[in-house]
Amino acid sequence: MLEVRGLATAIEAADAMLKSANVRLLRQWRTDPGMISLIVEGDLAACRAALDAGSAAAKRLGEVVSRCEIGRPDPDTETLVEELLKPQSATEPPVPPPAPLAPPDEAAVLASIVAAPQGLSLAEVKAAFPLMAITREWLQAQCRAGVLVRRRNRYFPAGETR
């Protein structure tokens, strides 16, 4: 088993492992955002050679988080690894897609910009209205329509001097 940080690092390590020894890639998966685990199978000497090559390749490109070689695993350990190798069960409920964002409620957005004495940036408007599809283009359209004025990446009501 080899765990590395980064997709490109994992691809480079897997390529080096498979080219350097007579091993077979059993599974790869993302364990954490940015961390990828690779499991190979073969003779103990071949696995050690593959891990050495994969670790060296990963160190050149990124970071090796951990590596582990298990020679003649205990039957319980073998069962544990086999469980890890199984695909996700179909009995798990599917993850629902995210709800679509609502179009901006112009009156509410404009009222919050008017209420802010220092004006609001795009990030602040998005944070105040997280369920609305507020984009820079929408705010710029409000500026073109003469409703808002943009100064130093902040939006103010048109006609007010602050």
Read off the pLDDT of residues 26-58 as tens digits, 9 standing for 90 and up.
888 887 778 999 989 888 999 999 999 999 999
In this predicted structure, the answer to whether residue 89 has a pLDDT above a threshold of 70 is no
Mean pLDDT, residues 66-90: 78
SS3 for the chain is CEEEECHHHHHHHHHHHHHHCCEEEEEEEEEECCEEEEEEEECHHHHHHHHHHHHHHHHHHCEEEEECCCCCCCHHHHHHHHHHHCCCCCCCCCCCCCCCCECCCHHHHHHHHHHCCCCECHHHHHHHCCCECCCHHHHHHHHHCCCEEEECCEEEECCCCC
> Which pLDDT band, with edges at 50, 70 and 90, does 20 fall under?
very high
E-assigned strand segments in 77-153: 148-151
pTM reported for the whole predicted model: 0.52
- Who wins on pLDDT, 20 or 135? 20
* Res 93: pLDDT: 67
In this predicted structure, the answer to whether residue 1 has a pLDDT above a threshold of 70 is yes
The mean pLDDT of the chain is 85
> Which pLDDT band, with edges at 50, 70 and 90, does 87 fall under?
low
**At a CB cut-off of 8 Å and minimum separation 6, what does 108 contact?**
129
Among the ranges given (21-30, 56-65, 89-98, 134-143), the one the predictor scored with the smallest mean pLDDT? 89-98
Centroid of chain to Cα 157: 37
